[in-house]
Amino acid sequence: MRSDLIAQINTDALIHNLNALRAKCAPGVRFCAPLKADAYGHGVRIVAPALQNAGVDFAIVATVREAIELRNIGWAGEILLLGNVLAISEPSEQARRIEAMTEHRLTATITDFTALQRIESYRPRRPIPVHLKIDTGMGRMGVLPKDAEPLAAAIAASKATAFRGVYSHFATADFELKDLAQAQLAEFHGAIERVRGHGDKDFLAHLANSAATITMPDAHFNMVRPGIALYGYAPAAYMRADIDLRPILRLVSHVVSIKTLPAGHCVGYGQTFTTTRTSRIGIIPVGYFDGFLRRLSNNSIVGTAFGSAPVVGRISMDQMAVDLTNLDAIEVGAQILLIDSDPMAENSVESIATRLDTISYEVPCMLGPRIDRVQYSDTSGW
């Protein structure tokens, strides 16, 4: 039984974006696909096989569970755990996670001596590949550059680990003014020189997110890891002219009820909308549990085959109302386009993010578990 909410994931657009990003890189630069958070909400079970078939052989996720799911759906390439997943106090849970790293061939992130010591104390049956994360200026996870070399030396000396790479993360690569990004890049160059000798011959260095992949070729090193751009969304509006990206998400539902209300009738909780004329009000089975937040109440539109319709009244947990008064042809069962794959549409991911005063990353990540993700390659027509 299918859901009333269908996220159509266009894998043709996904591969187009992959190729557009690859074209920004020099030959030999590896491509790492960020597949954390269910492929940024788009459905890892659809996205990962398409990317693997296109030759992507490196992925990053945030948690061990995400990595195991990726292996279970057939991902054969390398998987880097971004999170400091051993920063837990229970020895039994530490052991379970280290065993999972060994069994599923996962690469761990090391940010301090504690994580290294926990791997060593477990004595894995084969060395666990690790990447050293360096904090070059974001102030989040990572060892400071001045402390990186002793930790790198300890990783290289350990029989429990194999030192495979080093990475960092930009804080402001999406800004047009790149003062901090350039300072981070310089810090990373210096850190690489201090730790490179401790790594093996396949040593990887990676720093470039989407924005840096598009606008900072000197930050590509030998691997890039663009996330949001892979799914078709520009990290900043000014970058749209620099690369042809195609959003891969289209979210559809249908009208489940239509009623005619007289002028002066309340619609929804809190009496935030009252009809000013005789009105045809349609009900759509989507609510804030599904990612359509209450802040979109009276502040968004949906698409139909006959034109757009405004959302009226408060969005509730499972339902929202739209004004169909000017769309006489719409009947119960008619398809509703909740999120349009056209980036210029009033209900695109970018437009919804603007209405919510947030970023495009957050909109697909909020899409809830009642939404079925299905592969889709033909976005023409209704």
238 as an active site residue: the answer is no
CA distance 91 to 122: 9
CB 225 within 8 A of CB 207: no
Instruction: Please pick, among 36, 122, 178, 361, the residue that the annotation labels catalytic.
Output: 36
231 as an active site residue: the answer is no
CA distance 221 to 4: 45
Find all residues with CB under 8 Å of 23, minimum gap 6, and list them: none
Cβ-based burial of 357 (10 A; exposed 0-12, middle 13-18, buried ≥19): exposed
DSSP readout, 98-114? Answer: HHHHHHTTEEEEE-SHH
CA distance 121 to 223: 31
CA distance 311 to 279: 13
Q: Tell me the pairing of strands 301-304 and 307-312.
A: antiparallel
Instruction: Please pick, among 146, 238, 259, 269, the residue that the annotation labels catalytic.
Output: 269
Show which residues are catalytic. 36, 269
